[in-house]
Amino acid sequence: MISEQTRTRIAGARDSFPRRRQAILPSLYAIQEEVGHLSEEGVDVIAEILDLHPNDVFQVASYYSLVHTEEWGKFLIEVCVNLPCALRGADALADYVGERLGLEHGEDGHAATTADGVFTYRPTIECLAACSGAPMLQVNQRYFENLTKEKVDQILDGLRSLAARYPDRQVPALEIGKVVHATERGQL
């Protein structure tokens, strides 16, 4: 069930744009942030609040790779493997993340989820536009840059701790942001 808070966010997005359709993308992110993916119920709620047909909502959702229509773990981890990141060790980093999570991956970049459902790992994604911070990865659309194996260990440990604090729901984006800042400061 989509919370009243998320419904209010969607209505706020609707009211902040001159055309209802312009509020689809922020509404999709609001649903995904609460549920972890874009559910059928989420599509229906967005369509209802924006007074659109559900197909209009799904067409936008299916276009963007950052909107997920399948269930994922609490954290979706994606490693950028485009040229600047690759030149700074992204391939080895992607392999290391997979090893740490106990997930195999091939050249196809298909996602896999850990047995406990905490992490979904998509080992290869093209440019995330953070070239100056290469190598980098994102977790639920939050960037972690200038990575080393040690930083990856800190990040994964911090995220696992967060997952334990929120066993029955998605981890709030603000909490993931705190892990980003703590990692940057060497505080994890």
Round to whole Å and give the CA distance between 166 and 163. Answer: 5
CA dihedral 71, 77, 83, 85 (to 10 degrees): 170
Residue length, the chain?
A: 188
Question: Residue range 171-184: average pLDDT?
Answer: 80
Write out pLDDT tens, residues 86-121.
Answer: 899 999 999 999 999 998 764 555 778 899 999 989
For residue 37, give both structure tokens: 């993916």
Helix (H) or strand (E) holding 28, with range, is: helix 24-35
**Does residue 171 register a pLDDT over 70?**
yes
Give me the pLDDT at residue 58, please. 93
Residue 148, phi then psi, degrees to nearest 5: -130, 170
Question: What is the DSSP code string of 152-180?
Answer: HHHHHHHHHHHHHH-TTSPPPHHHHHHHH
For residue 61, give both structure tokens: 């959702």
- The per-residue b/e assignment along 128-151, b for 16 or more CB within 10 angstroms, e otherwise, is bebbebbbbbbbbebebbebeeeb
CB 20 within 8 A of CB 53: no
Give me the pLDDT at residue 183, please. 75
25: region left, alpha or beta (phi > 0 left; psi from -120 to 50 alpha): alpha
